[in-house]
Structure 1
Amino acid sequence: MYRLVYLALAALAVVALLLSFFDLVGPDPFPLVATLAVLSAVCVGVDAAAQRVLNLPWRLESSLITAHILLFVLRPTIDLVGLAGIALAAAVASLSKYALAWRGRHIFNPAAVGATVLTLLSLVWPALGASSWWVGTPALAAPVILFGLAVLLRTEKVRVVAVFLVVAVAVAVIRVAAQYQAAGVEIDGLEVFWQVLWSSPFLFLGAFMLSEPLTLPPRRWQQFLVAAVVGVLAGWPIPIGEITLGQERALLIGNLVAFAFAVRTAVRLTLISRGDPTPSVRELTFRVHDRLSFVPGQYLELEVPHRHPDARGTRREFSIASAPADLPLLKVAFKEGSSTKPQSSYKKALAEVGVGGELAITGVWGDFLLPKRAAAPILMVAAGIGVTPFVSQLAQLRRSGDERDIVLVYVASDAAELAYRDDIEASGARVVVFTRDRPADLPAHWQWARGVRLDADGLVQVVPDISSRHAYISGPAGLIAELAPALERARSITTDAFSGY
C-alpha cells in the first residue's frame, strides 16, 4: 500500500507540474519543484533520524507520502521564509508519527497535523504561509479521481469515501445556498453543486487522507460515521477566531472520533510454536503480551520487520484462527506458496522467525461477523485456508454454549488439505466437504459431496434451504464469483476475499 499510494501521489504531482506550465493550477512550476524538494528532504531526514533513534524499520515511501500530501495542501513558494514554514510543517508532520502516538500507532493524520500547526503559526507570523488546498481545482479533479480510485479500490474504502463526499458536498451546497439567500442573490443549485464538487479539495481529502487505514476505526459502520463527521465539518467549516474547522482540522476531529472507537495499539507477540495442520498449511501460535480485543471473524495485520523489503512491504493481513476465549494465545494460519513462484521478502522473513521471536500486531479490523440473533440460520462456505475465520467463530460459539443452526461447506483440493478437522467436529456444525478424494473417517454430521460440481447449482443441491440462511463465504475472489448466483438466494451475503501473503 505504501508503494501504491506514493506512486499515485507522485503521478499526481507530475500532472500538476505539467498543468502549471499552462497556468491551469495555482502554483508556478519552480515553486512546485522547490516546495516538493524541501518537503521530501525534511520528511525523509526527520523520519530516518526518528526511526534510527527508536530502532524502527525505515519506510522511505511513508516519508515521501507525507511530503507529497503536504505539497497539495500547503502553498508552494520560493520565498525563503515561506520555505522555512514549509520545512517546519514537514518536520511537525513527521514528528507527529512518533510524538502523537499511542503505543506505536499514530493517532492523527501526519500531514493534517503539520498543516494545522503551520496555519496556527501563520496567525502570528503570516510570512510563514498556511494551508491553501490548491489541489481543489477543476483541472486536477479528473487526475485525483483516477489515482484516488486506484488507492481506494486497493484499500476497499470506496464506500467510506463516497459517504464522505456525499455529506461534504451536500453540506457545502446547503451552506452556499444559505449564504446566497441571505445576500438576496439567486442561485442555480446544479451549478453550485458542480462547482463545489470540482473546485473543492474534498476529492483529494477523501481519497488520500481520510482513507488512511491506520487512522480509521475497525468496523465499517464506525468508518461511515467518521466519514460523515469529517464531511459535515469540511462542508460547513465552523469559524474559530481567525481560522475555521475546515479540511485538515475536520480530519483531525475525525481521527479523534476514530481513536475513541478503536484500541489503536501495537500489540506485542511472542511466537511459541509452529504447526502444520495440512501438508501446505502453516500455523503460528503466539502469546499476546498486551491488551487485545477482537470479535471472531476479524483479521489482524502482522508486521515482520526485515531488511530490504520488496514492493509489498513488511505487513500482511491474516484471519485470526483462534477464539477470543483462547487469549492470551493467538493463532493464525496461512497456505504455503508454490515452490515454482518467487517468494516475497515478507514470506522469507516470516519463515526465519523462530520460537521465542517477537513480532507485533499493528491493528485488528473486519466486519466478517456472524449475526447477533442466535436463531438466524447460517451458511459458511470456506475454500482452503479461508476456513480460519470460521474456525474462530465455531470455537467461540462452542466455548460460550451458543447453539446455532450452521452448515459449513468446506472446499479443499484433496482430503489431506482439510485443516482444523478436530476443531470443526467439536463444534457440532453440519459439514459438507468438496474434495477430489473421499476423506477418511468422516464424523456422522459430515458429508462428502461426491459427484456434485461446486457451482451455483451444486451449492443449492447440498444446501437446499439456502434461501433461509445468512451466507458467509471466505476464499479466493474467483470462487466467490462462481457461487454468486446461488449465494444471491440467501437472506444476506457477507464475503471475505483474500489473495495470499
Structure 2
Amino acid sequence: MLNFLIAVLAAVIGFSFFGILPYGGLDILFQTLVFILLCWAANKIFTQIAGIKPNPESAVITALILSLISGPFNVWSDWIILLIIAASAMASKYVLVWNKSHIFNPAAVGVIAGMVMGYPASWWIGSKYILPVILLGGYIVLKKIRNLHLTLSFLAAYTILLILTRPLGQLSGVFLDSAIIFFASVMLVEPLTSPQNKAKRIYFGIFVALALVIFQRLGLAYSLELSLLSGNMLSRILSPDFRMAVVLKRKEYLNQSIIGFWFDSLRPIVFQPGQYLEWTLSHDKPDKRGIRRYFTIASSPTEKEILLATRISDPGSTFKKELANMNPGREITTSKVSGDFILPKDTSRKLLFIAGGIGITPYRSMIKFMLDSNEKRDIILLYGARNKEDFVFRNLFSEAERIGLKNIYIEGGIDSEAIKLNTPDFTERIIYISGPEPMVEAVVGELKSIGVKKTMIKTDYFPGYEKI
C-alpha cells in the first residue's frame, strides 16, 4: 500500500508540473512532507504515552492519504489545521479503541476533525487524469492483499443503488471521478478496521455503499467519511476483536531454518484448524514491513499451547530476527483470528492437501486435530520441499495414517504430472493448496490445465517467500 500511495503522489506531482492538474507540484510535495512529519511525531508521542513501540509505516500511510484528500493547503498559513488533522488521526488509534485495537479509519477521523475546524476535505485526488494510475495500482495492491472482493462488493452495490436513485446520465461522472475508486481501493480496505472474514468483508462493502447513498440523499457533508466510519462500527460488531499477550514457553528447532515457537496464553484462543492470527512484535528500528505479521496457528485447538512455525532466513526481516532471538518468558501480542482455509464439515468428502515448504503449517493443525478427535477422513498429502531435510512434522503425519492420511513427499515442485500420478481421483477431491504465493499460483494453473474446477480449489499462501 505504501508504494502504491507514493506512486499516486508522484503521478499527481508530475501532472501538476506539466499543467495537467491545476495544482502546484512543489506545494503538494511540501504539504505531504509536513503531513508525514506531523503524523510521525504525533504517533511517536501517543505510543510513548501508551507505553508501546511505534509503527512508522502506518503513520506515513495515514499522512499520504490525508495529503491526497485534504487541501491542498497553504502550509505557512494553515499549519495549525494540518496539525489538528494529523494529531486527530493519530490520536484515534490510541483513544477510540476497543480491546486495545482502534475502531475507526484514522484518515477518516482526521478529515472529520478538519471539517469541524471549517476545513473540509476536498478529495482533490478526484480527477479523470489520475484515474488510470489509481485503477492499475489499486488492482495490483488489492490482488496482492486478496481484498479485491471487498472493493468490488462496494462498487457493485454503490452502482446498483445509484441506478435506482439517480438519473442514468449522472452515473458516468461518478466513476470518472477517481475519488470514489481511491476511497474503495485504499481507505475501505484498511485491515485493522474491516472484517477479517471474506463473507463479512463483502457484507461490509455493501453496507458502506448503502450508508453512502443514504447520506448523499440526505445531503450530509462528508458522506464518504461518515459511511466509512459507520462501516467501521459494523465491522467491530461483525468481528469482535481481541488482543492478548501470549508468553513464549519454548523454541523447537524443526530443521536448520524452520523454528517452532510454543506459546502459553492467559485464556484459551478459540479457532478452527487452518486459521491464522495477527502477531504484533514491537522492536527497535523495524524495517518497512513493520511490526505485524499474519501467521497460521500450527497447533490444534485440542492443544493447550499455541504453535507458530516459520522459516528464519538470513538476511531476513527485522520482525523475523526479533522473533528468532526471543527467549522463554517474553511476550508477543496476538489478535484477529481469521481465515477460511478450514476443513469441510462433511467428513465423507475426499481431500487433497498440497503443501509447499512452510505452507505445511495449516495441515499440521488440521491433522493434529483429527488425530486427537479420532476423526477419520480420506486425505492425500502431497508435500513438496527443496530437499528431504525441509520436510517437518513427519512423525505426526505418519501417526495420522491410521485415520486415513496418505503421505507423499516430493523433493522439488509439484506439477500436474505429480498430481495425476499420485492422486488418480483428483477430480473427486477438494484440493487445498498452501505455500509461497508463486507456488500456489503455479499449482492452481496446473490444476486448471487438467480440468479441475475452481470451486474445488481452496488456497492459502504466505507473501514474502519466492521459493519453496
TM-score by length of 2: 0.89
* 1:256 counterpart residue number: 233
- Structure 1 pair 424–103 and aligned structure 2 pair: CA distance change class (3 A): same
**What SS is found at the alignment partner of 1:234?**
helix
Equivalences for residues 105-116 of structure 1 within 5 A: 105-116=101-112
1: distance between equivalents of 2:81 and 2:274?
A: 46
Matched, 1:472 2:432: yes
- Could you tell me how far 1:38 is from its partner in structure 2? 4.2
- Structure 1 pair 431–200 and aligned structure 2 pair: CA distance change class (3 A): same
- Structure 1 pair 33–363 and aligned structure 2 pair: CA distance change class (3 A): same
1: distance between equivalents of 2:398 and 2:205?
A: 42
* 2:137 counterpart residue number: 147
- Could you tell me how far 1:98 is from its partner in structure 2? 0.3
Contact 1:26 1:134 in 2 (8 A): no
Instruction: Output the amino acid matched with 2:364.
Output: V
Contact 1:473 1:494 in 2 (8 A): yes
**What SS is found at the alignment partner of 2:284?**
coil
- Could you tell me how far 1:302 is from its partner in structure 2? 2.1
2: distance between equivalents of 1:28 and 1:236?
A: 35
1: distance between equivalents of 2:463 and 2:192?
A: 21
- Structure 1 pair 499–14 and aligned structure 2 pair: CA distance change class (3 A): closer
Contact 1:303 1:361 in 2 (8 A): yes
* 1:463 counterpart residue number: 423
Contact 1:408 1:429 in 2 (8 A): no
Aligned residues: 459
**What SS is found at the alignment partner of 1:243?**
coil
Contact 1:42 1:87 in 2 (8 A): yes
Contact 2:50 2:94 in 1 (8 A): no
- Could you tell me how far 1:350 is from its partner in structure 2? 1.4
* 2:187 counterpart residue number: 209
After superposition, the C-alpha distances for 1:247-295 in whole angstroms (9 at most, x for unaligned) are: 1111111111221122323221100011123344211100112563322
Q: Percent identity?
A: 28
2: distance between equivalents of 1:388 and 1:478?
A: 17
- Could you tell me how far 1:173 is from its partner in structure 2? 4.1
Structure 2, gaps ≥5 residues long: none
**What SS is found at the alignment partner of 1:167?**
helix
Q: Which of 275, 290, 300 does residue 252 from structure 2 map onto?
A: 275
After superposition, the C-alpha distances for 1:393-447 in whole angstroms (9 at most, x for unaligned) are: 12223334443222222234444443223333343232232245xxxxxxxxxxx
2: distance between equivalents of 1:174 and 1:23?
A: 38
Equivalences for residues 400-439 of structure 1 within 5 A: 400-427=373-400, 428-435=403-410
Q: Which of 95, 100, 107 does residue 96 from structure 2 map onto?
A: 100
* 2:151 counterpart residue number: 161
Matched, 1:335 2:311: yes
* 1:495 counterpart residue number: 459
* 2:86 counterpart residue number: 90
Matched, 1:314 2:291: yes
- Could you tell me how far 1:37 is from its partner in structure 2? 4.5
- Structure 1 pair 46–499 and aligned structure 2 pair: CA distance change class (3 A): closer
TM-score by length of 1: 0.83
- Structure 1 pair 372–26 and aligned structure 2 pair: CA distance change class (3 A): farther
Contact 2:263 2:306 in 1 (8 A): yes
Matched, 1:237 2:220: no
Contact 1:456 1:483 in 2 (8 A): no
Contact 2:376 2:404 in 1 (8 A): no
* 1:172 counterpart residue number: 162
2: distance between equivalents of 1:81 and 1:454?
A: 62
* 2:198 counterpart residue number: 220
Matched, 1:69 2:33: no
With 11-20 and 28-37 compared, the bigger mean Cα shift is at: 28-37
* 1:301 counterpart residue number: 278
Matched, 1:385 2:361: no
- Structure 1 pair 326–29 and aligned structure 2 pair: CA distance change class (3 A): same
Contact 1:74 1:131 in 2 (8 A): yes
- Could you tell me how far 1:144 is from its partner in structure 2? 1.8
After superposition, the C-alpha distances for 1:137-191 in whole angstroms (9 at most, x for unaligned) are: 21221222233234323322223212222222333344331xxxxxxxxx54xxx
Contact 2:312 2:320 in 1 (8 A): no
